[in-house]
Each structure stands twice: as structure tokens, then as C-alpha cells.
Amino acid sequence: MSVVFAALTSDPNLLRCELHRLGGQVLLQGEQRSNAVGVGAYAQDEVLLRRFASNGELGMDSLAPPHESDALLFHGGRLPVGQSLEDNTQPFRARRWLFAHQGALNDFDALRAPLMASLPEHLQRQVRGGTDSEVLFALFLRHLRDVGRTDDPRLEADVTARLLADTAREVIKVAIDHGVTRASTLNLVATNGYVLAACRFGQEPLFYSRLEGSAECDLCGVTPGTPETQPTVGAHRRRRTVVVASHLKRPAGWVELPQGTALAVGPDLQVHHLNGA
């Protein structure tokens, strides 16, 4: 099973610090080793993606972008032999949107055609690879387009989460209509750098946690004894971050998202559940 991790933070300068303190909590490898890894982040108006083959150990510090960023989205998974790393490695990107799918859509070969047929031509052309996850992303983009909010920087987190859940429910309905009885795992995560949304549909768990500020940071050398006059102390005390993860080393301090529930996190970093979203 693939692995997903995402973060939205109040202080883009301290994103690497937040990743560092999660090193003992989050796993970046699942039961099956990833051979395709992707990390998406933001640099002001730019969306930057790193995609690379990986069969070794991954650490949280290695995810930190070389620049400040409000949000980050990581995905690790296995691609079949012959599939292009460039076209099939998540997260996928369209304009400011980053998207990742943790899980699998059962009987995708039978469902690909009807799902693609529901897309407008420009989104059909955007699907370049052969994965179910990229088709799911195109469906989410269609939901955004249908409400005219694809490029809206003021898009509410609750609306984003509802559309993400609508995407999962649409796929489930199409599967039922075509006689697919095995339940799929549709854990979806999306961000545009301003909001973070996730939903869980299936048996595989998805967790989230809210990190509060702290006057300690190994990376920055901030300790309880550091004078309060140091600007870094105040910055570290004020920082707040919401993180989503599919695989944990230890669950203490994390909340498991219930099945059929969406998670919405806005720029204020308040967390909202959308039950039956």
C-alpha cells in the first residue's frame, strides 16, 4: 500500500523544523517498499515537484524543500515495470493544485473508460499516465471546475473537502453501477497552498494531528534556556501546523479520520470534520 503525508503550516520559514520534529512519529515507507517518490511544495507563486526513484530509507528531513513553503505533499508508492516515473509518480499537479491518492481503485481496468468519459476533453488530455490516481485527480478538477473555483485563492477549506469527498463518492457509485463489489481504498489529499483537504473512504486508516508552537528546536538550536529576546524563540512559539499521514510509528497525539469523513483545514489552521461530506 502506498504512503501519503501532508502539512499546512502557519510559518513557511519553519516548515523544515516541523518536519524534523515529526521524524519519530511518521513512517514514509509502507509494507511494500516504494520505488517512486514525489514531494510537492510551494515557492511563492511557483509549485515545485521533486520526483525520483527510491528503494532506500526515507527520512522526514529529506522532504524539506530548499525554500520556505506553506504546504507540502508527499507520496511514496510502487510503479509497475514499464510505467514512466515522470508521468505516474504522485503527487500530481495542475496549476496550484497538488493531489495524492493513497490506496487502490479495484477493477480499474473496467472503470477507466466510464470515468474518463465523464471528463471534459481538456481534462481527458491532461491524463498522461496509466494510474487510477491520476484519473481521480482529473475528476476532482472537474468538480472544482463545475463550481467555478479551480483558480480561486479564496476557496474555502470546507468546500474543497466536500468536493474531494464528492469525487470519492462518485467513483464508488460508478464502481457499483458496473458490478464492482470489492471495496476500494480512496484516501485522497489535496492542497493549493492555502487550504488542505483530505478524505477517507475504505478500510485503510488516515490520521491527522495539530502541532502547537514550542520553544525548542534542534535544527535551530532553540532550547528552553534561549533568551526570549531572540526572534527565533517567538517564531517557534507561534508556529502551528496541521499534518495528515497514512502511516505512523506511534499513534499518540494523532486522530484517526473516521471512514466516510472529510477533513478541512483553512489558512487559520482550524480543523473541521465533514461527516457524510
The CA distances from residue 257 to 107, 162, 221, 225, in Å, are 25, 15, 34, 37
Q: Which amino acid is at 38?
A: G
**Angle of the 157-177 helix axis to the 108-117 helix axis, nearest 10:** 120
What is the predicted pLDDT for the residue at 8?
98
What is the predicted pLDDT for the residue at 129?
94
What is the predicted pLDDT for the residue at 35?
85
What is the predicted pLDDT for the residue at 227?
87
**Angle of the 108-117 helix axis to the 132-146 helix axis, nearest 10:** 30
- pTM equals 0.96
What is the predicted pLDDT for the residue at 267?
96
What is the predicted pLDDT for the residue at 276?
63
- For residues 49 and 42, what is the distance between their CA atoms, to the nearest angstrom? 9
pLDDT in single tens digits along all 277 residues of the chain: 799 999 999 999 999 999 999 999 999 988 778 889 999 999 988 999 999 887 667 899 999 998 999 999 999 998 877 788 889 999 999 999 999 999 999 999 999 999 999 999 999 999 999 999 999 999 999 999 999 999 999 999 999 999 999 999 999 999 999 999 889 999 999 999 999 999 999 999 999 999 999 989 999 999 988 988 888 999 999 999 999 999 999 889 999 999 999 999 999 999 999 986 4
Closest CA to 196 of 103, 72, 91: 72
- Delineate the domains of the chain, giving CATH numbers in brackets: 3-103+186-275 (3.60.20.10)
Q: 99-124: per-residue pLDDT in tens? A: 999 999 999 999 999 999 999 999 99
Name the 3-class secondary structure at 76.
Answer: strand
- For residues 38 and 51, what is the distance between their CA atoms, to the nearest angstrom? 4
Closest CA to 42 of 90, 9, 5: 9
